[in-house]
Structure 1
Amino acid sequence: MIDRHQVGARALEHIRHLSVDIGPRGAGTEGERRGAEYAADRMKEWSQGVQIEPYRAYTTLTWPWGLVGLLLAASGALIWLSPLVASILATANLPIYYFVASGRRDIGVIFPKRASRNVVGKVPARGPGATPGSDGEAGRDREGGRAGLRRVVFLAHVDTTRASLLYAPKALKNLRMTHIFNMVSVLALFALSLTGLWAEGLLASPADAAARATAGYVLLGDRIVASVFGLIAAYGLGVLAHRELLMPHVHGANDNASGVGLALAVSEYFAGHPLETTEVWCVVTGSEETGYPAGAGRFVAAHLKELQDADILVLDNLGAGDLRYLRAEGIILPMRMDAGLMALARKVAERHPDWKVRDSVCNLGYTDATPALAAGLRALALWAEGPDGLLVNYHWPTDTFENIDARTVEQAAAFVLEIVEAIDRGEDRIRA
């Protein structure tokens, strides 16, 4: 077991092993499997039982985003041949884009899958009366507070992504605008295909010559503008194809060996120094870098009843930069983090002004918090940002152990320890 001052160093050991000794850990690959096995082996040293929960998931974000792009490109091209077919495709793209961009549902049922897994280790509380209720949930007192066992759950994904031209350091600052343009494209092609369908119908009707001439101009304009959106979508498909064919999986020291390393190290510390009435779950997930955090989604679905009164802390990209706690996450219609946990993180941060901790928003994607928030659970995601407000070495080959900042890891370890200890004291609830 380790002492408090050793937690950061132990996390660095895990980060090094995952990113150097194992290396790239793409979803559904041998590297991801080895990363999960490493986490399981470490948990067995201090956890009271380790569960490996297998599932199958698609392995790349190219599948969902490629489908959105394909429907955009097809709508833009087919409007010249059949506005009706174009409108059908554009209409079908609306819910697909909504689910992909908001993270509110996994559409992976239509994509090919590979084996992945979550690893769950548990550290019991030490205090008297710290036993689960008969239904497996944390106990509650009559006023809605907590009695008996409380539960903190760490979520950290072990898989890594492929690099992409979209994530090149000079291009990353424009990624938000790319997402906004995607949304505009989906809505625009839906509107253009419908007006094109109306204009085509008017041209075929016995309307007067002036009305038919107007309809002809409208249809031509719709087709030209739709073609522009379609061509840009086709370019995006080319970028995705380039990513799959020519770009490597990154080593993922920051994203997210840092989160896994911290989850393992902090949990090991609490195994040797148990909390009074709070048990700790350490959950290492797979398949997060796929366009939907599938591992976290499977975990939430499998343990929903046990998580109803848990505090879920997502640890992601905590190896370089200044610490942040997220207020919300999502490309569109972002979901807000739990207000009580945000207030607690702010309170802990105020004790350490030299850490420069503040709140932030994830609007370039989502973390493992998304399935928990969508299920109505209490969750808070923690990460670190560079001076430009972006994740450091995000999804790029420079995400290596050499670029991990030990200072950030040490601060993250101390930050997480203090948050969990405050939860054990009941400080995570907003009082009226």
Structure 2
Amino acid sequence: METLKAVLNLLMLPHRGSATALEAEAFRRLEAFLRAQGVEAQPLPFRGVRSYGPELLGLSLLLALAPLSPLFPLLGALGFYLYFTGRRPWGRLLDRFPSQNFLAWKGDGEKALVLLAHVDTAKTFFLYHPRRVRAFRAHFLLNASLAFLSPLLALTPLKWPLGLYFLVQAGLLGHRELKAPYVEGGNDNASGVAVATALFLETTPPKGWRLGLALTGCEEVGALGAKALVPHLPPGALVLNLDNVGRGELFYVEGEGMLRYYPYRGALLEAARKTPGARPLRYRLAYFDALPLAQRGFPTLTLIRLEGGVPPDWHCGTRTPVKAGSSRIL
């Protein structure tokens, strides 16, 4: 419990926005804390973006050009599919800002279990307001349907309302980039970092096993930290991802995917399914750091807490990860 409180206090910054100076400050604090516990965390630098807004804005503008030519919405629909299945072929052009992961190990066995949690926080948006957030999935599916139909709709008179719809959306995304603040991220994901760190420090791996702690940056902008982490993990490592575990009902995630669904596999999932009272979840609301790992064949499991089907205080600004004390975390 003391470790949980200590890590939560370390992360009480105005925000930890992806690839920002305050994300870097959070990693500096975590590094100093781990070193004080006798743990040397290996920094793994990479480059990312500070917000997903410009990419979605660009896709919205392509779709908004439907009245001019079907080619533009065709490109927009392709980009939409690629982005929301975890592919960013344009990433090398946009990933300009420094971010990092931390990776620490204890034990020396051939088998490995990695505790994974992301450090960064996101900008807010009007869709994350508590009165609207339960419609987040429905809004996404509407966008996806219109995006994929747009090359055909561009050949009909409906191209004009379609173009206007995505033009308004581009304007809202532009306003978000200019005006929306980053959130403090108590639940998402100081809670996961605190739990992962406490479990790592307080667990002695059994003979034949290594225990890893992987803290990532840039999760909120496309799980970029998890993608950069892949080459540093031993093949076949079990990965337990902790995200939004501060408040609500606890679920284990069987698989995820906003468009295409990717089922998890492996020993952690099988163990969760055999645990009495454990509640399964097929997560389609957004994505986790676990997604690029599952796509690359790692045996993966995510734990999350939900209230009313959504993470509490999801990207809407809260400093405290729990309402009634840290005893609510896991």
**Shorter chain as normaliser: what TM range?**
over 0.9
1:19-418 to 2 correspondences below 5 Å: 20=12, 22-46=13-37, 49-75=40-66, 77-78=67-68, 86-105=69-88, 107-111=90-94, 113-125=96-108, 130=109, 149-193=110-154, 196=155, 222-223=156-157, 225-270=158-203, 273-290=204-221, 292-300=222-230, 302-303=231-232, 306-348=233-275, 350=276, 353=277, 357-386=278-307, 388-398=308-318, 400-401=320-321, 403=323, 405-409=325-329, 412=330
Partner SS, residue 44 of structure 1: helix
CA contact (8 A) 2:85 2:258 kept: yes
Alpha-carbon shift at residue 342 of structure 1 (Å): 1.8
Shift of residue 299, structure 1, vs aligned partner: 0.6
Report the Cα offset of residue 92 of structure 1.
1.5
Question: Normalised by the size of structure 1, how large is the TM-score?
Answer: 0.72
* Structure-2 separation of matches of 1:47 and 1:332: 43
User: Using a 3 Å threshold, how does the CA distance of structure 1 residues 340 and 406 change in structure 2: closer, same or farther?
Assistant: same
Distance 1:60 1:265 in 2: 29
CA distance in 1, matches of 2:94, 2:300: 29
Contact 1:39 1:119 in 2 (8 A): no
* Mapped partners of 2:89, 2:48: distance in 1: 10
Identity %: 27
Secondary structure of the residue aligned to 1:191 is helix
CA contact (8 A) 1:42 1:264 kept: no
- Structure 1 distance, partners of 2:58, 2:323, is 34
Q: What is the SS of the residue equivalent to 1:25?
A: coil
Equivalent pairs, count:
330
Q: Give RMSD over aligned pairs.
A: 1.9
Contact kept in structure 2, 1:64 and 1:107, CA below 8 Å: no
In structure 1, how many angstroms separate the alpha carbons of the residues matched to 2:324 and 2:33?
A: 21
Task: Say which SS state the counterpart of residue 184 (structure 2) adopts.
Answer: coil
Q: Deviations over 1:315-343 (max 9, x none)?
A: 11011111111111111011111153222
Asked if 2 retains the 8 angstrom alpha-carbon contact of 1:47 and 1:122, the reply is no
Letter in 1 for 2:27: A
Name 1:207's counterpart in structure 2. Answer: none
* Per-residue deviation, residues 316-372 of structure 1 (Å, max 9, x unmatched): 101111111111111101111115322211323x1xx4xxx4111221210001110
Pair 1:404–1:263, CA change in 2 (3 A) = farther
TM-score, normalization: structure 2? 0.94
- How far did residue 106 of structure 1 move? 5.9
Deviation at 1:404, TM superposition (A): 6.7
Whole-angstrom distance in 2 between the partners of 1:65 and 1:237: 8
Displacement of 1:105 = 4.7
**Does structure 2 conserve the Cα–Cα contact (< 8 Å) formed by 1:104 and 1:374?**
no
Deviations 1:38-81 (A, max 9, x none): 22222223465421111111111102211221111122x32xxx
Give the drift of 1:257.
0.6
Q: Say if 2:240 and 2:300, in contact at 8 Å, map to a contact too.
A: yes
Amino acid in structure 1 at the alignment position of 2:105: K
For residue 208 of structure 1, what is the aligned residue in structure 2? none
Question: Residue 184 of structure 1 aligns to a residue in which SS?
Answer: helix
8 Å Cα contact 2:57/2:170 also seen in 1: yes
How much has 1:13 moved relative to structure 2?
2.3
